[in-house]
C-alpha cells in the first residue's frame, strides 16, 4: 500500500475518532441534563473509548507491521548486495530479488519492482520506498544511505553488505535487550496484581468496619448524598462519604455498582484503571521500546481489572 493511502487512512481514522468523541460528548451533556447524570457519565465514557481506542489500535497495528518487516530486512539487503555483485544493474538486481519471499516486506518490494518496471528512476523508487517504510526508523535510514551512496557514485553493493551486517547486529542487540527487559515487564505485572490484591484486601476490611460504624439501617458508602454515616473521626460525628465527592457515587451507580460500599468500590476501580493504563504503557516502553506496544499490555491489564472487580468486589 502506498504512502498516500496510509496517510489518508490514518487521517480518516483520526477524523472519525474526533467526530465520535464530539458526538458522544454532546449527547452526554444533553442527556445528562435531561435524563440523568448517570446516563451522561456513561456516554462520556463511551466518548473517551470511541475517541482513543481506534487511533491506539491503528498505531499498534502499524508498529507490529514494521517490526515484522524489520525481521526480514537484513536478508533483503544481503540478497540485493549479492545480486549487484554478480554484475547486474541496480534495477535488474532489484527486480531479480523481488521474486524472493521476504514476509510482510515482500509487498513493498514488489511495489517498488513494479515501479522500476515502469522505468521510474532508481533513486526516485528508493526514495518512495524509504517514505513508505517511514514507520521504521531503521529501514528508512538504511534506504536513505543506499540512495546517497548511489547518487555519490560509491560502492553501493559493499554499502548494502555492511548495512545488512549492521542491521543484523542491531536486531540482535534489540532482541537481547527485549529478553533482559522482559524481566522488568514481569515485575510491572507483579506490581499491578499486587496493587489489585491490596485494593481487594482494603475493600474487604473497610466495608465491614464502616458498616459497623454506620447509622442503623443505612449502609456505609451509600450513594445518597444526604446519608449520614459515622466514620472514624473519634467524635461520633456522621461522615458522609458521598457528600464530599458526590460525582464518585454517581459514577459508581452509572457503572452498575451495588449501593453497599459504592464510594470505596468506585474509588478503588478508578485507581485500578489508572494503574492499568500507566503500567501497560510503561510495559510497552521498557519491553519493546515503543509506547504503541503498550496498547496490548493496557488491554490485558484493563481486562484483568474488570475480572478482578467482578470476582472480589461484588
Residues 69-83: tens digit of each pLDDT: 888 888 888 888 888
Q: How far apart are CA 116 and CA 172, in angstroms?
A: 32
* Same structural domain, 71 and 134: yes
Q: Which of 264, 252, 257 is nearest to 214 (CA)?
A: 264
Residues 124-151: tens digit of each pLDDT: 888 888 888 888 888 888 888 888 877 8
- pLDDT < 70 positions in the chain: 1-5, 154, 210-241, 243-244
Last residue of a domain, one of 154, 183, 208: 154
Instruction: Please tell me the predicted confidence (pLDDT) of residue 273.
Output: 92
pTM: 0.70
* Same structural domain, 149 and 180: no
Q: How far apart are CA 24 and CA 40, in angstroms?
A: 9
* Same structural domain, 196 and 253: yes
Range of the domain at 83: 3-154
Instruction: Please tell me the predicted confidence (pLDDT) of residue 218.
Output: 46
* Same structural domain, 78 and 206: no
* Same structural domain, 18 and 131: yes
**DSSP, residue by residue, 122-185:** HHHHHHHHHHHTTT-HHHHHHHHHHHHHHHHT--HHHHHHHHHHHHHHHHHHHHHHHHHHHHHH
* Same structural domain, 109 and 194: no
* Same structural domain, 47 and 114: yes
List the alpha helices (DSSP H) in 155-260: 156-212, 241-244, 246-254
Q: How is residue 121 written as a grid cell?
A: 528512476
Amino acid at each position: 500500500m502506498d504512502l498516500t493511502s496510509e496517510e489518508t487512512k490514518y487521517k480518516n481514522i483520526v477524523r472519525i475518532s474526533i467526530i465520535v468523541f464530539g458526538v458522544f460528548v454532546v449527547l452526554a451533556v444533553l442527556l445528562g441534563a435531561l435524563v440523568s447524570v448517570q446516563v451522561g457519565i456513561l456516554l462520556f465514557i463511551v466518548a473517551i473509548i470511541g475517541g482513543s481506542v481506534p487511533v491506539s489500535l491503528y498505531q499498534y497495528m502499524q508498529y507490529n507491521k514494521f517490526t515484522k518487516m524489520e525481521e526480514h530486512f537484513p536478508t533483503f539487503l544481503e540478497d540485493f548486495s549479492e545480486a549487484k555483485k554478480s554484475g547486474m544493474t541496480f534495477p535488474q538486481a532489484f527486480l531479480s530479488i523481488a521474486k524472493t519471499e521476504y514476509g510482510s516486506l515482500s509487498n513493498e518490494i514488489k511495489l517498488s519492482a513494479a515501479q522500476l518496471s515502469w522505468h521510474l528512476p532508481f533513486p526516485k523508487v528508493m526514495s518512495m520506498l524509504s517514505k513508505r517504510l517511514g514507520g521504521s526508523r531503521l529501514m528508512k535510514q538504511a534506504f536513505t544511505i543506499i540512495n546517497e551512496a548511489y547518487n555519490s557514485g560509491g560502492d553501493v553493493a559493499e554499502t548494502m553488505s555492511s548495512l545488512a551486517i549492521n542491521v543484523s547486529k542491531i536486531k540482535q542487540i534489540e532482541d537481547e535487550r527485549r529478553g533482559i527487559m522482559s524481566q522488568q515487564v514481569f515485575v510491572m505485572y507483579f506490581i499491578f496484581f499486587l496493587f489489585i490484591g491490596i485494593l481487594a484486601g482494603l475493600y474487604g476490611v473497610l466495608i465491614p468496619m464502616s458498616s459497623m460504624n454506620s447509622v442503623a439501617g443505612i449502609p456505609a458508602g451509600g450513594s445518597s448524598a444526604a446519608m449520614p454515616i459515622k466514620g472514624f473521626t473519634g467524635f461520633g460525628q456522621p461522615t458522609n462519604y458521598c457528600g464530599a465527592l458526590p460525582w464518585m457515587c454517581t459514577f459508581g451507580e452509572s457503572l452498575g455498582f451495588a449501593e453497599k460500599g459504592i464510594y470505596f468500590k468506585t474509588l478503588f476501580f478508578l485507581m485500578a484503571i489508572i494503574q492499568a493504563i500507566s503500567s501497560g504503557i510503561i510495559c510497552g516502553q521498557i519491553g519493546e521500546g515503543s509506547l504503541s506496544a503498550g496498547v496490548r499490555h493496557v488491554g490485558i491489564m484493563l481486562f484483568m481489572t474488570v475480572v478482578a472487580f467482578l470476582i472480589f468486589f461484588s
